[in-house]
């Protein structure tokens, strides 16, 4: 792995740790185009709802492919984020199109998606 990749992974882990400090966040991770988690993870003390590792991987792969798609970019503009509200969690994915990775967030079902998205964008665009 190159020094540039190591620096990027360190930065991604730091940003995910910062996101995990938000009370409603359960999971913050960077996923590659194959659905593999490369940085971040679950908040300490949180048990994943999806106990089956294979199903979790398939879900990550699905979200990765759905978020990075570009069919409507020309007419509607690129995807800023995709959000899904489920009974047990809110899921939000943010694409990083140039590197073909994405940030996947899982939060408590009571989370305000729009406010959460704004906080996450602020964390990832703040270069300190």
Split into its structural domains, the chain has a count of: 1
Q: What is the pLDDT along the chain (128 residues), one digit of tens a residue?
A: 566 788 889 999 999 999 999 999 999 999 887 778 899 999 998 877 766 566 667 777 777 777 767 788 888 888 889 888 989 888 898 988 778 888 999 999 999 999 999 999 999 887 65
Specify the long-range contacts of residues 109-112, CB closer than 8 Å, at least 24 apart.
Answer: 109/85, 110/24, 111/24, 111/25
CB 34, CB 61: distance < 8 Å: yes
| Tokens linked to 76 | 């509607």
* CATH number, residue 18: 3.30.450.30
Structure-token pair, residue 107: 């939060």
The H or E element that residue 94 is part of is strand 90-96
Domain that holds residue 97: 3-125
């Amino acid at each position: 792995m190159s020094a540039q990749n190591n620096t990027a992974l360190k930065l991604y882990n730091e940003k995910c740790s910062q996101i995990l400090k938000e009370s409603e966040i359960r999971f913050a991770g960077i996923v590659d185009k194959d659905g593999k988690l490369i940085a971040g993870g679950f908040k300490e003390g949180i048990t994943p709802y999806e106990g089956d590792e294979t199903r979790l991987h398939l879900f990550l792969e699905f979200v990765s492919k759905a978020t990075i798609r570009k069919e409507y970019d020309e007419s509607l503009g690129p995807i800023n984020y995709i959000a899904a509200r489920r009974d047990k969690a809110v899921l939000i994915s943010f694409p990083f199109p140039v590197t073909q990775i994405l940030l996947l967030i899982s939060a408590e079902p009571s989370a305000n998606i729009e406010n959460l998205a704004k906080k996450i964008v602020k964390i990832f665009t703040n270069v300190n």
